């Protein structure tokens, strides 16, 4: 048996037709363009989005694809066999960013075109693709930099969100049911001052959201309730994306449930937010919420849109940038006021009209006191649920007396 008997003549003919020079030129061009794609990828994706392993893969993919296409060119049988061999391969690596798919197919296309012998097409095509991606990146940067003027020119600065009607339609009360392990629910108020998150499931308007983070919130209200043994009716903050990345409640990332502390009317904060909406100010959406815990009625709360990413997107059309929140100056619970000093305020330059600035040297108003163990007479019991609490009358009460304006001078 001779060497020719072992191998088909077609195989020997292919060996004789093999050109080392053409192969080296093709692989060299594939390497250069692959490195070019590598540089574009590195410049386009920076920080945590950049993957060095994926970038190197782009170079190797161009070389391997070129070699494969060179082998199957002008041979239908071999190309079909290659398709069958590749069809059994399963790739499990997940693509992190959608733009990486563009670079992946770019590298594959370069290898295919070079392997087919159309080197000028690979060079010119890669240059055009790179220019197009550079223009797209510049356009995105300009859009971010001038998002305000662009949005104003378009007549719309925000984005319509599904939770605007699903959660904050004030024509009906929102129903919220917190499903939580009983031991965790009992432990949460005991450690309320730490404001630690606990895991729960939340049913809102018939839709259940799983693995939601919940914690007590507040400043003065939190410390006051924590020091009051007769109640545990805290305000709550729900974070839908705390444990599940990207989870939202109809597009809302965080929901506030305020207990309306020290408000016997349960209306003051809601009226303020309603006024903001009437004035067209960028303020949180609101709605009353009937709160239940494991199916047991807990009380009426004021549901608010948290000033977070969803708030930014709804009002300004972006989810990044600088978001400033006023500092509470550690007010409440016997805490200090930081660098704030009321005596530093100068009312001399203020135009108060008919108003008179407060006299801080005047004697304090007479305070009603109660006997030991009794609550002051102006406290209001807030019942209507397991989490009822008494609220001190620190603010003006919205109680109707008569139609004379002077009767409501405190308000």
pLDDT at 97: 73
Task: Identify the weakest region by mean pLDDT among 121-130, 145-154, 318-327, 367-376.
Answer: 367-376
* Residue 207 vs residues 175, 177, 178, 256, 328: alpha-carbon distances, Å: 10, 10, 12, 18, 35
Closest CA to 322 of 337, 314, 312: 312
pLDDT at 300: 93
pLDDT at 332: 46
Name the more confident of 282 and 384: 282
Cα separation of 288 and 89, whole Å?
A: 56
Within 10 Å of residue 74's Cβ, how many Cβ atoms?
A: 10
Using CA atoms of 109, 113, 119, 123 in order, give the dihedral in degrees to the nearest 10: -20
Q: Which residues, other chains included, contact 311 with Cβ-Cβ below 8 Å and sequence gap of 6+?
A: 284, 305
Residue 18 — very low, low, confident or very high, per pLDDT cuts 50/70/90? low
Would the pLDDT of 370 be above 60? no
Cα separation of 119 and 377, whole Å?
A: 91
Would the pLDDT of 389 be above 50? no
Q: Please answer whether residues 176 and 290 qualify as being in contact, where contact means their C-beta atoms are separated by less than 8 angstroms.
A: yes
Looking at residues 206-231, what average pLDDT do you find? 89
pLDDT at 134: 85
* Residue 60 vs residues 44, 72, 111, 116, 137: alpha-carbon distances, Å: 19, 19, 10, 18, 25
Would the pLDDT of 376 be above 70? no
Looking at residues 259-264, what average pLDDT do you find? 86
* Residue 332 vs residues 202, 248, 328: alpha-carbon distances, Å: 30, 32, 9
Name the more confident of 178 and 52: 178
Enter the tokens of residue 79: 């190309």
Would the pLDDT of 352 be above 60? no
User: What mean pLDDT, rounded, does the chain reach?
Assistant: 77
Residue 390 — very low, low, confident or very high, per pLDDT cuts 50/70/90? very low
Alpha carbons within 13 angstroms on the beta-carbon side of residue 371 total: 0
pLDDT at 346: 57
Percent of the residues in the chain that have a pLDDT greater than 70, as a whole number: 68
Bridge-partner residues for 217, per DSSP?
A: 235
Name the more confident of 214 and 409: 214
Would the pLDDT of 367 be above 60? no
Give the pLDDT confidence of 82-131 residue by residue, as tens digits: 666 666 556 666 666 778 888 888 998 998 899 888 889 989 999 999 89
Give the pLDDT confidence of 45-85 residue by residue, as tens digits: 776 667 888 888 889 989 988 888 887 776 666 666 666 66
Would the pLDDT of 152 be above 80? no
Cα separation of 263 and 15, whole Å?
A: 91
Task: Identify the weakest region by mean pLDDT among 28-37, 76-85, 179-188, 218-227.
Answer: 76-85
pLDDT at 276: 92
CA 292 to chain centre: 26
Residue 327 — very low, low, confident or very high, per pLDDT cuts 50/70/90? low
């Amino acid at each position: 048996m001779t060497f020719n008997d072992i191998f088909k003549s077609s195989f020997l003919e292919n060996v004789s037709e093999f050109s080392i020079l053409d192969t080296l030129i093709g692989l060299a061009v594939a390497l250069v363009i692959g490195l070019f794609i590598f540089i574009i990828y590195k410049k386009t994706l920076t920080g945590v989005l950049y993957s060095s392993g994926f970038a190197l893969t782009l170079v190797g993919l161009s070389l391997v694809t070129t070699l494969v296409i060179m082998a199957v060119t002008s041979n239908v049988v071999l190309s079909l066999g290659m398709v069958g061999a590749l069809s059994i391969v399963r790739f499990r690596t997940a693509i992190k960013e959608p733009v990486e798919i563009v670079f992946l197919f770019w590298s594959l296309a370069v290898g295919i075109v070079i392997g087919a012998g159309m080197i000028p097409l690979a060079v010119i095509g890669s240059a055009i693709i790179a220019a197009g991606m550079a223009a797209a990146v510049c356009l995105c940067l300009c859009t971010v930099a001038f998002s305000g003027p662009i949005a104003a020119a378009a007549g719309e600065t925000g984005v319509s969100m599904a939770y605007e009607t699903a959660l904050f339609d004030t024509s009906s009360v929102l129903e919220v049911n917190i499903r939580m392990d009983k031991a965790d629910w009992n432990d949460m108020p005991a450690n309320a001052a730490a404001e630690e998150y606990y895991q729960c499931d939340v049913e809102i308007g018939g839709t259940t959201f799983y693995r939601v983070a919940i914690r007590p919130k507040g400043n003065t209200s939190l410390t006051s309730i924590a020091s009051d043994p007769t109640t545990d009716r805290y305000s709550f903050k729900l974070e839908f994306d705390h444990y599940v990345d990207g989870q939202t409640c109809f597009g809302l990332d965080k929901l506030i449930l305020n207990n309306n502390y020290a408000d016997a009317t349960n209306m003051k904060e809601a009226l303020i937010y309603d006024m903001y909406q009437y004035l067209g100010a960028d303020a949180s959406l609101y709605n009353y919420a009937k709160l239940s815990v494991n199916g047991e009625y807990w009380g009426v709360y004021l549901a608010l849109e948290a000033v977070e990413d969803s708030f930014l997107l709804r009002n300004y059309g972006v989810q990044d940038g600088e978001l400033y929140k006023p500092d509470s100056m550690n007010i409440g619970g016997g805490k200090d006021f930081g660098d704030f000093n009321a005596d530093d305020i100068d009312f001399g330059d203020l135009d108060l009209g008919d108003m008179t600035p407060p006299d801080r040297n005047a004697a304090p108003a007479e305070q009603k006191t109660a006997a030991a163990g009794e609550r002051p007479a102006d406290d209001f019991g807030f019942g209507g649920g397991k989490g009822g609490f008494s609220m001190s009358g620190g603010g003006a009460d919205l109680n109707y007396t008569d139609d004379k304006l002077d009767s409501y001078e405190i308000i």
